[in-house]
Structure formats: C-alpha cells, structure tokens
Amino acid sequence: QKEVEQNSGPLSVPEGAIASLNCTYSDRVSQSFFWYRQYSGKSPELIMSIYSNGDKEDGRFTAQLNKASQYVSLLIRDSQPSDSATYLCAVNSGSARQLTFGSGTQLTVLP
C-alpha cells in the first residue's frame, strides 16, 4: 500500500514568515512529486512539481526533494494571508497513471 503522510496541522505562521510543509512517502520508486493548494470550497490547484533531488524555486515557493529519505517539502517565503489554504502533497511512481495524495496540511497565515 503506497502511502503519503503529511502533518495535518493546522499550521499557523505570522505574515512575512516562512511556512514549512512536510511530506513523506513510502514507495521508493516514486518519481514525480507535486504540491497542490486548495482553498476552502475550491478544487486543488497545482503549484509546484519536482522530479529530481534538490531544490526547485518558483517565486516565493521552494520545493525540496530528498529521495534517499523519501521526503518532500514546500517552503513558502514571505507568507501572505492569501496563502491560507490546505496544501496537498501528491506522489506518482511512474509506473502508475494515478497519483497518491496525502491528507493535506491546513495553513493559516495570520495578519
């Protein structure tokens, strides 16, 4: 059974701080890793993809992947109240067409 684990939170950070969201996965052959942002009542929106070890930066977002530790994280710098949402981690093994999703971490950025 492939599993993706996230801290459920809720996680609260003050405006301007760095928010750190973590995800671990059980399938060692996983190849693709994604972070989705989901606002309350809305559908998930893909915000970051990462496929190789190391860091990938996109604006205020940085995804970090460590395949040896089976760990992927998302850092949000200069957090804004508009970043308040649930963040879903998703993993694909490459051999399967579907993604395995974590249960999500609820982030609140306090003004």
Partner 1 sequence: DVKVTQSSRYLVKRTGEKVFLECVQDMDHENMFWYRQDPGLGLRLIYFSYDVKMKEKGDIPEGYSVSREKKERFSLILESASTNQTSMYLCASSLQGTYNEQFFGPGTRLTVL
Which residues contact partner 1 (rule: CB under 8 A)? 31-32, 34, 36, 41-46, 49, 51, 88, 90, 92, 94, 96-99, 101-104
Cβ proximity to partner 1: between 41 and 111 the closer is 41
Residue 59 to residues 16, 48, 90, 94, Cα–Cα distance (Å): 14, 11, 21, 27
Tell me the C-alpha distance between 109 and 111, whole Å.
Answer: 7
Cβ proximity to partner 1: between 17 and 99 the closer is 99
Cβ proximity to partner 1: between 51 and 77 the closer is 51
> Which candidate, 2, 8, 50, 7, places its Cα nearest to that of 26?
2
Cβ proximity to partner 1: between 61 and 101 the closer is 101
User: Least Å distance between CB 24 and partner 1?
Assistant: 16
User: Least Å distance between CB 71 and partner 1?
Assistant: 19
